[in-house]
Chains A and B, each alone.
Chain A
Amino acid sequence: MATILLADDISFIKMVQKEVLEKQGYEVVGEASDGIEVIEKYKKLKPDVVIMDITMPKMDGLNAMKAILRLDSNARIIVCSALGQYQLIIDAIKAGAKDFVVKPFDPKRLALAIEKALK
């Protein structure tokens, strides 16, 4: 069973993501509410996939993603953000994101992004 770490400052979003992912057979092993916390939890939990918001306190998701990729170049990170702007999507993919899912997210789209990242 693939393990997932969720990073989003809004607890409602993490609750919905967790419900959706657990129904699809994934194990949510941790949750973080800011960019610093997700880096710490990544080091500790070594999840198979991170679902990362961009807008977060302390450190934004794009910088947190870059920091995680410096620690582990094989980290699989999917950005899930309401900021689905063309340039941000390009920047996120160039920086190493496996995919970019725009909120409000379609559960099937998120599952597909995880499947693709795990291959």
Chain B
Amino acid sequence: MQVEYINPFIISAIEIFEKVANIELKKSNLQIKKSTAPSNEISIIIGITGNFEGQVVYSFKQHTAQRIVSCMMPDASQERQTAYMESAISSLANMITGRATVLLAGKEKVIYITPPYVAIGMNNKDAQFLELPTISVEFTSRFGTLEINVVIKPK
């Protein structure tokens, strides 16, 4: 996987968090891992198809996800925020990935993404991660960290 393919995800994550949740993200670490398996207990998995193929896995700690959602729905009750938590963080992952595909596709290519799959727990047996060299980016925010694991290549 070429390192340049990670930049659209970094740019998009910073932009979408700012726009949708008014949260400033700062890139704090970048490393190569052996698979897309996440480091945190709540993860959102999105597949990539079309002129590129791969997988993106976003992960947060539970309390970080809750606080992000509270920023996305500031006027909602805590009950309502909890009810929408998985869906709200799925929408963030969808928008970050979607925005990144716009940057990757240019004018000629078409890239599709799969509906987000939310996996709860570190040993979730239904979650399918790719055992391939993965670029892992960690961001910090005032509410904790976000990890984005990306495997992507042109088809």
Contact = CB atoms under 8 A, between A and B. Distances in A.
Given A87-B105, A88-B110, A82 B115 contact: no
A103 B100 CA distance: 12
A55 B94 contact: yes
B62 interface: no
Contact of A11 (B16, B84, B111, B112): B84
Contacts of A15: 84
Per DSSP, chain B at the interface is helix
Nearest to B19: A104
B112 A55 contact: yes
Interface string B97-112: 1110110011111111
Interface in A1-32: 9-13, 15
A83 B91 contact: no
Contact of B115 (A57, A85, A102): A57
Contacts of A10: 87, 90-91, 94, 115-116
A89 B72 CA distance: 27
Interface in B78-136: 84, 87-88, 90-91, 94-95, 97-99, 101-102, 105-116
A9 B72 CA distance: 18
B20 interface: yes
Contacts of B115: 9-10, 55-57
Contacts of A9: 115
Contacts of A82: 94-95, 97-99, 113
Contacts of B114: 55
Contacts of B107: 86-87
The residue in B91, B101, B105, B109 that gathers the most chain A C-beta atoms within 10 A of its C-beta is: B91
A60 B112 CA distance: 10
Contacts of A56: 115
A83 B98 contact: yes
Interface of B: 16, 19-20, 72, 84, 87-88, 90-91, 94-95, 97-99, 101-102, 105-116
Closest 4 CB pairs of A and B: A82-B98, A12-B87, A85-B105, A12-B88
Given A11-B84, A12-B91, A55-B115, 11 more contacts: A10-B87, A10-B94, A55-B94, A87-B108, A91-B110, A103-B91, A103-B94, A103-B95, A104-B16, A104-B20, A104-B95
Interface of A: 9-13, 15, 54-57, 60, 81-88, 91, 102-104
